Structure 1
Amino acid sequence: MSHAYDYHVHSNYSDGRFLFRMARAAEEAGLDGVGFADHCNVSARESMQRAKRHLGFNLDETYERRREAIDSLQENFDVTIFDAVEMDYDPRDEAAIADFLDAADFDYAVGSVHHLEDVNVHVESYFAEKDESEREALVDAYYDTLVSLVDSELFEIAAHVDLLERNPVLRGYATEDHYERVAAAFADSRTVPEINGGRVLREYGEFHPAPSFREVLDAHDVAFTVGSDSHDPEALRECTPVLTEFFEESGRDPVRVVE
C-alpha cells in the first residue's frame, strides 16, 4: 500500500485507550492516517439505553468534546487523524441514526451489526441456550440486518461483516446464500466492507470477513477498506503490519474512504 490508513480504531470515548496513546501508536506503526471510530448507539429502546448506561458508551453526547481533542492532537502527531464513529445499526433505528449522523457531520461513519434480540452477539451464554433451529434463525436475522445496513446507504464502511463468527455458539451457520445476498447488496451500494483485523492475532485467528466470505465478495468485485479494530496501542502496533502484508500479498488495493 502506497499510503497506510486504518479507519477503525477506538479510544477512551468508548472502550479503547486514551486518544493520545492511540494516536502515538498509529504514528509509531507508520500509518499515514488513523480514524477514531468509537462506538455509538442512538436507539431509544430501553434495552439499548440500559446497555449504554452499563458500558458508558456516550459518544452521541461527547463527540464534540472528542472532536476538540482530535483537533488539538493533530498538531502533535505526524499522522492524519480522522473524526469518525462506529454506529450500532438496527433497521428500527434508521431515522434516529440518519438524524444523528446528519447533525454530527463526522468525516465518515462505520456501521456495525452488534446485536441479535438486543443482545450483543459476543454473549456466548445467551445464545448457547438456543436450539439448532433458533440459532439458524438468528444467523438469518443477522445477515438480513447486514443487508439492510448496506442498503440504507447511511455508512461509508461496514465493519466486521461476519462478526458472529467470533462466537463459537453461532460459528459455522452462515451459508453461501447469506454471503451472496450481502455481496449483491455491497455491489450496488456506496458502503464498503473492511478487512478487519480485530481478532486475527487472538483466539479467533482470522480476519473478517473469513476466507469463504471474501471469495464471494471478490466474485462480485466488492472492494475493501482497512480497519484494525484496535482498542489499545499494542494491538494497533501489532496489527498494522499484518494488515499491510495481507493487502500486499492479496494484490488488493484498499479503498481510500477519506483523504
Structure 2
Amino acid sequence: MRFDYHTHSTYSDGSFLWSMARAAEEAGFEGIGFADHCNVSPDSKQEGRKKAMGFNLDTTYDRRREGIDLVRDRFDIRVFDAVEMDYEPEDEAAIREFLDSAGFDYAIGSVHYLDDVNVHIQPYFERKPEAERRELVAQYFDKLVALAESELFDVAAHPDLFERTPALRGLATREQYERAAEAFADSRTVPEVNAGRALREYGEFHPNPTFLDVLAEYGVELTAGTDSHDPADVGPRKTALEETLAERGLEVVELDL
C-alpha cells in the first residue's frame, strides 16, 4: 500500500497539512491525498450545515492548493490535491460543474445522508421501526448505485458507511450488495477499502467482509484509504489495512495520477 488516497486536513475536519504529510512519510507511504469534505448542493439545509461545520472547500480549495504546494516542497512524498464530495443524485449537475472547474487530482464521492440526516446520527435512526430502517438502507444503495453510474468520481468512499450506526447495522441484503457490485463493475469509479473506525468502536473496515466478498465475486477493483483525520491514526491504520488486505489476498489498485 504505497499511497493513502483519503485523509483530511484543517480545510474540513482534520489536522494541519504538514502534520498529516509528516505522519504519512513516517508511516512509509510514498504519497498522501488530502480529500477534504465538500458539498455544493444548492439546498438551503446543506448550505446551513456547511456554515455550521466550516466545510467550505468549495470556496477555499485555491488557498489549500497553495498550502499543498508548500507541503510538497517540505516532504519527500507525493502530495495529492483531492476532494471528498457529498453525493446526492439531484446534485449531479452542480457537482459536475464544480469538479470540472476546480481541477482536482482526483475526486472521491460519498453518501453521507439518509432522510436528510447524517447516517452517523444514531438517536435519529434508532427511534424508527425496523421496516423504516430497512427502507432507508435500501435508499442508501439507490444512492450508491447512482454514484457509480454518474461517472463523476474516481473513488467511492466507505461504500457501506451506514454500518457504523448500530441502528442501521446488519440490515443490508446480499441482493443490495450484488446490485452495488454490478454498478461498480461497469463504472470507472473504484470503491475503497476504508479504515474508518475499524480500530475504534465499529471494529470493521468498509466494505464489511460480506460486501468485500461480493465485490470480489464481481471482479471489482479496490483502492485503499486510511480516512485519517489525525496524524496519530495514519500509521496504525496503514498497518491494519495492509494486514487485512494480506489476510484476504487482496491487492489494491493505484490511481492513474
Query: Is the structural similarity TM-score above 0.5?
Result: yes
Shift of residue 206 of structure 1? 0.6
Instruction: List structure 1 runs of 4+ shifted beyond 4 angstroms.
Output: none
Quote the residue 1:97 is aligned against. 95
Shift of residue 253 of structure 1? 2.0
Q: Structure 1 residue 50 and structure 2 residue 48: aligned? A: yes
Shift of residue 250 of structure 1? 2.7
Quote the residue 1:165 is aligned against. 163
Shift of residue 237 of structure 1? 1.8
Shift of residue 245 of structure 1? 2.1
Quote the residue 2:10 is aligned against. 12
**1:159-206: CA deviation from partner (whole Å, max 9, x where unpaired):** 000000000011111000110000000000000000000111011111
Q: Is the 8 A contact 1:48 1:118 kept in 2?
A: no
Quote the residue 1:85 is aligned against. 83
RMSD (CA atoms) = 0.9
2:188 to 190, 214, 217: 190
Q: Distance in 2 between matches of 1:90 and 1:164?
A: 15
Mean Cα displacement is larger for which, 140-149 or 241-250? 241-250
1:66 to 59, 64, 67: 64
Q: Distance in 1 between matches of 2:32 and 2:227?
A: 11
2:128 to 113, 127, 130: 130
Q: Is the 8 A contact 1:107 1:258 kept in 2?
A: no
Identity of aligned residues (%): 59
Q: Distance in 1 between matches of 2:208 and 2:224?
A: 15
Quote the residue 2:111 is aligned against. 113
Q: Distance in 2 between matches of 1:150 and 1:208?
A: 16
Q: Distance in 2 between matches of 1:78 and 1:250?
A: 31
2:141 to 127, 140, 143: 143
Which structure 2 residue ranges, 5 or more long, are not aligned? none
2:172 to 171, 174, 199: 174
Quote the residue 1:219 is aligned against. 217
Shift of residue 248 of structure 1? 2.9
- Secondary structure of the 2:35 match is strand
Q: Is the 8 A contact 1:247 1:253 kept in 2?
A: yes
Which structure 1 residue ranges, 5 or more long, are not aligned? none
Q: Paired residues, what number?
A: 257
Q: Is the 8 A contact 1:184 1:220 kept in 2?
A: yes
- Secondary structure of the 1:27 match is helix
**1:51-106: CA deviation from partner (whole Å, max 9, x where unpaired):** 11110000000001001110111011111000000000000100000000000010
Q: Distance in 1 between matches of 2:169 and 2:251?
A: 29
- Secondary structure of the 2:191 match is strand
Quote the residue 2:232 is aligned against. 234
Shift of residue 252 of structure 1? 2.0
- Secondary structure of the 2:74 match is coil
Shift of residue 242 of structure 1? 1.3
Shift of residue 39 of structure 1? 0.2
Q: Distance in 1 between matches of 2:256 and 2:14?
A: 22
TM-score (structure 2 length as normaliser)? 0.98
Letter in 2 for 1:162: D
- Secondary structure of the 1:198 match is coil
Q: Distance in 2 between matches of 1:247 and 1:168?
A: 25
